[in-house]
Amino acid sequence: MSRRNRILASAIATALGLAAWPIAEARADGPVEYNRDVRPILAENCFACHGPDSAARKADLRIDRRDDAVAMGAIEPGKPEESGLIERINSTDPHEVMPPKAIHKTLTAAQKDVLTRWIAQGAAYQLHWSMIAPTRPATPKTSDPAWVRNPIDAFVLARLDSEGLKPAPEADRRTIARRLSLDLVGLPPKPADVEAFVDDKSADAYEKYVDDLLRSPAWGEHRARYWLDAARYADTHGFHFDNFREMWTYRDWVIAAYNGNMPFDRFTIEQIAGDLLPNRTLDQQIASGFNRCAMSTNEGGTIAEENLVNYTRDRTETVSQVWLGLTTGCAVCHDHKFDAFSQKEFYELSAFFNNTTQDAYDGNIKDTPPVVVVPQPEDADRWAALPAAIAQAKTAVDARAKAARGEFDAWLAGLKPEALAAMTPTRELRLNVGVAPREGDAARQPFESLDAGDFEKDQPFSFGAWVKLPKEGATGSVMARMDDQHEHRGWDLWLEGKRAATHMVHSWPKDAFKAVTKNELPTEVWTHLFMTYDGSGKPTGVKIYVNGEPQQTTSAADSLKGSIRATVPFKIGQRHSSDRVDKVGISDVRLHRQALTDAEVADLAGVGRYLPLIAQPADKRPPAEVDAAFAWWLKTRDPASRDLRTKLVGLEQEKAALQARGTIAHVMQEKPAGAMAFVLNRGEYDQRRDPVKPKTPEVLPPMPPDLPHDRLGLAKWLLRPEHPLTARVSVNRFWQEVFGQGIVRTTGDLGVSGEQPSHPELLDWLAVEFRESGWDVKRFYKLMVTSASYRQSAAATPEKVEKDPSNRLLARGPRFRMDAEVVRDYALAASGLLVAKLGGPSVRPYQPEGVWEAVAMPESNTHFYKRDAGESLYRRSLYTFWKRSAPPASLDVFNAPSREVCTVRRERTNTPLQALVTLNDPQFVEAARALAQRVLAEAPEAGDARIDFLARRLLARPLRDDETKIVRASLDRLIAYYQSHPDDAAKLMKVGELPLDAGRDPAVVAGWTMLANELLNLDEAINK
């Protein structure tokens, strides 16, 4: 043994395998290829101890990198006889042989030959296979060309030929019809559609059936469901209170994009950077909500910078999973242990997403900025036109103001104080008392009157005064006629800190209302505060004005029914016996037995403010006050300006009305400064190291210089023809949706630690085909489902189960348990309960009691689950309200994710809880009852026609005679039971909102209900 090999022998330790699907071995006389032939052997047997993981590496030997392996003597290129690797794998010494006996791995003679020939041929390494841009491989020759319907089948059959397997026969048409419907629209087929397909003998019958499904709006709903997992879409913020987030416009955009067959390249660009597109549309802004679906927080104990770092990290990792199929998050704290990118490169990538105006705290509100208004579809054109109309109206108002200044100056020069005072509105004035002057420090004089303020809830009236709040604000009554010792009956003008409010009370708080200003009042200055009430008995009938301007208000109570008349006197500065506001200045108190108009209130404020100004000599008047008087004059005294303002106000009110009946969308928005980030030591938010600019990883093709280094440039870079990942990752995920597992089973990891593709040439062919087809999504799905591989029967032979238990080779058709939403939607659709309404706010169907309450904080607005009624109970599961901390319970049981993070591959488990859901959940029991009533109402009674009706709706096929016999016996037993247990039948009829059909025998309906429930729980119904 050479000295170098003796050193190597002392260095090599045990090697643990990494799972990989066996790849066809190289021909003995052909060139050996590293990715295809060598890497799978090394990954399975060597890399765990002699690979990229520094923590697990033994004796500092790496054979995953050529230079390291050569430097340590493991490989002598061109000289296998001098290579330590070959010596160790061929050793008969149990202490020398690799892999060591202890790990129970042994290389075959063929594998040893591959490694020997590889080194003899020069030991050429390659980039990891997924980092090499795909090229379209030649379609392979197969043993049965007649079986091949499209190129997919050639690759599948070639692999089967190499394994000595044959494809399964084609499934029957009813099975195919059901399979296609579930895969393309996520719903069971209608019996009439199945029979039409079965009876259609035309050559293109299969293609026509597929095209019909692709045209269905349900296609977009079904595809969107998968995408929303990846986008981590939900209806709540996620952290802390986990409050409601109004996000559903993004979900509806995704549905519309799929239904419109938006090319995947545009689908990508608009979601990553729709807000950065030139002349962006509202829809493109909504699409950018992809990166606003992430969780956020408003917890006071968190640190703002840490939150922002976490938000950026999430966006980076999500885009990486969805488009790159890489676990970039493994490089947050250190260089990636397996894939060829560094910690610095992670933060360079994250810099693309580190320039948003989104705040560190979400405010616990539903519309955390940045957001945009999304009007109702019928309002969209008008909404788009209003900004220009409002701008034009404002221009006209400003132009009139400029032209009218001379008129005002002349009017002001000739104005006398008594003439201005005469402009004070006195309509239905019942009280005007000064109480205290607005100059100097004279004390406020107490005032009360048993005659004043005796108003009733159905009478309009107005009240107000000039007030001066201290800096800290005040809480108490400016004026009131309120008996605070007897249920607070009466009314008041109330101060609540720095906000104004009014109470109108019969009995507080159960029979009363309260209106409060949203904005705070000025302090330490005299402010005109006035309120009008229209006699409606509602807080919406109150208007609160500050300095003559109407204010936005909220309702703190709204339950007034009784009288508000109080027997105590009207008082200023307090209620009858409490709630004094001694530090608040109060002057010029007025009560009117009528609701004054906006113009009248503006005059009250204007006259009161400008009387002192007019009393001064013209040359002593402060310019700012003169300008303010001019604004008041324009608003109240100039007819031309008033008309223009009325038009402007009308347009603004129209805009507000459109906004109120619309919704919003969370969008991305860039800061003006260029994007950048910092490398964070060990990933800690407060340990900044080098600043970095947006940049793509070196292992991938460079970003062309003509692309901007922002999210838009990144999105376009992802779609370039030389990019090795985007197309591969996308088609692999599409394949997973149809066949149950990806060609690369680790859908979110096509890196070194991910699995090898089962059909690498097929994956490359599909990637190139998808890209060169113009990224046509519907075309791609049609290609998959029209293949002979897809049409195979799912029946498995013992040989195939032994050789390929997971059906990786596709020697039979796909069969697996349907996803959570499809299981529920299947029951609703088969029963006839499903409401085929597209889009809209999320709904709250049946859910076990206490699920939200068990996890929610008391302050959360998603603390209590209040289920909906009517059609909202029967919408597709796609529209179910998704609370991250407590996702929909019945869906969670069937492995639906929490949507806290990006999910590109769901787990698929089989647990007893799942049977409890489909057997006992009210949604499923009610669906069974609806189907039972439908059977009894629509199917003929003769023979077993009703059983056949039931089977065709649930299984898309008629039952065999032996099956019908079993089902009939079960039905007879069930009906007999409920006839002898009428109370149980009555209880069953009360499950869900669906009423019992008039005239139906509850025992018979109960029997059919439980029979439908049985069939809904068959493996054949739960599995595709």
pLDDT at 23 over 50: no
pLDDT score, position 55? 81
Question: Distance between CA 876 and CA 255 in Å, rounded?
Answer: 13
Nearest 5°: phi and psi at 283? -60, -40
pLDDT score, position 48? 82
The pLDDT-based confidence of 820 (bands split at 50, 70, 90) is: very high
Question: Distance between CA 567 and CA 252 in Å, rounded?
Answer: 58
Q: Which residue has the higher pLDDT, 24 or 880?
A: 880
Cis omega before residue 509 (within 30°)?
Answer: yes
Question: Distance between CA 800 and CA 796 in Å, rounded?
Answer: 6
**What is the mean pLDDT of the segment spanning 164-186?**
98
pLDDT score, position 26? 52
The arrangement of secondary structure in 426-595, i.e. its CATH architecture, is: Sandwich (2.60)
Give yes or no for a contact between 535 and 457, defined as CB atoms under 8 angstroms apart: yes
Mean pLDDT for all residues in the chain: 94
- Strand-pairing partners, residue 468, are 526, 585
pLDDT score, position 20? 38
DSSP sequence for 820-846: HHHHHHHHHHHHT--------S-B---
pLDDT at 2 over 60: no
Q: Which residue has the higher pLDDT, 842 or 7?
A: 842
Question: Distance between CA 803 and CA 840 in Å, rounded?
Answer: 48
pLDDT score, position 970? 98
pLDDT score, position 588? 94
pLDDT score, position 437? 74
- Listed residue (360, 77, 153, 344) closest to 239, CA to CA: 360
**What is the mean pLDDT of the segment spanning 999-1011?**
97
**What is the mean pLDDT of the segment spanning 201-215?**
98
pLDDT score, position 12? 33
- Give whole-number Cα distances, 925 to 766, 861, 920, 1007, in Å: 43, 30, 6, 12
Question: Distance between CA 420 and CA 257 in Å, rounded?
Answer: 63
Question: Distance between CA 807 and CA 160 in Å, rounded?
Answer: 11
The pLDDT-based confidence of 443 (bands split at 50, 70, 90) is: low
Ramachandran quadrant class, 858 (left: phi over 0; alpha: psi -120 to 50; beta: rest): alpha
pLDDT score, position 441? 59
Give yes or no for a contact between 953 and 859, defined as CB atoms under 8 angstroms apart: no
**What is the mean pLDDT of the segment spanning 254-269?**
98
Give yes or no for a contact between 242 and 236, defined as CB atoms under 8 angstroms apart: yes
Q: 23: which 2 tokens? A: 């790849």
**What is the mean pLDDT of the segment spanning 251-259?**
98
Burial class (CB in 10 A: 0-12, 13-18, 19+), 17: middle
Each residue's pLDDT tens digit, 672-706 = 989 999 999 999 999 999 999 999 999 999 999 99
Ramachandran quadrant class, 164 (left: phi over 0; alpha: psi -120 to 50; beta: rest): left
The continuous run of DSSP H or E covering 629 comes out as helix 623-636
- Listed residue (924, 860, 858) closest to 889, CA to CA: 924
Q: 575: which 2 tokens? A: 């209620």
**What is the mean pLDDT of the segment spanning 165-171?**
98
- Strand-pairing partners, residue 663, are 374
pLDDT at 22 over 60: no
The pLDDT-based confidence of 442 (bands split at 50, 70, 90) is: low
Give yes or no for a contact between 129 and 38, defined as CB atoms under 8 angstroms apart: no
**What is the mean pLDDT of the segment spanning 265-276?**
98
Residue spans per domain, the chain: 34-126, 426-595, 920-1022
Give yes or no for a contact between 374 and 662, defined as CB atoms under 8 angstroms apart: yes
- Listed residue (379, 382, 380, 357) closest to 368, CA to CA: 357
Question: Distance between CA 88 and CA 407 in Å, rounded?
Answer: 104
**What is the mean pLDDT of the segment spanning 367-388?**
96
The pLDDT-based confidence of 132 (bands split at 50, 70, 90) is: very high
pLDDT at 573 over 80: yes
pLDDT at 16 over 80: no
pLDDT at 27 over 60: no
**What is the mean pLDDT of the segment spanning 718-724?**
98
- Listed residue (685, 767, 784, 762) closest to 728, CA to CA: 767
Question: Distance between CA 73 and CA 95 in Å, rounded?
Answer: 19
Question: Distance between CA 98 and CA 38 in Å, rounded?
Answer: 16
Question: Distance between CA 4 and CA 48 in Å, rounded?
Answer: 23
pLDDT score, position 440? 63
- Strand-pairing partners, residue 170, are 792
The pLDDT-based confidence of 1009 (bands split at 50, 70, 90) is: very high
pLDDT score, position 7? 35
**Residues 378-387: contacts with CB under 8 Å, at least 24 apart:** 379/658, 379/661, 379/662, 380/282, 382/654, 382/658, 383/655, 383/658, 383/662, 384/282, 386/651, 386/654, 386/655, 386/658
The continuous run of DSSP H or E covering 556 comes out as strand 553-558
pLDDT score, position 58? 86
The pLDDT-based confidence of 102 (bands split at 50, 70, 90) is: confident
- Listed residue (972, 975, 999) closest to 988, CA to CA: 975
What lies within 8 Å, CB to CB, of 52 at 6+ separation is 62, 64, 336, 337, 338, 752
Give yes or no for a contact between 821 and 877, defined as CB atoms under 8 angstroms apart: yes
Each residue's pLDDT tens digit, 907-953 = 999 999 999 999 999 999 999 999 999 999 999 999 899 999 999 99
pLDDT score, position 456? 97
* Percentage of the chain modeled with pLDDT above 90: 92
Question: Distance between CA 198 and CA 172 in Å, rounded?
Answer: 9
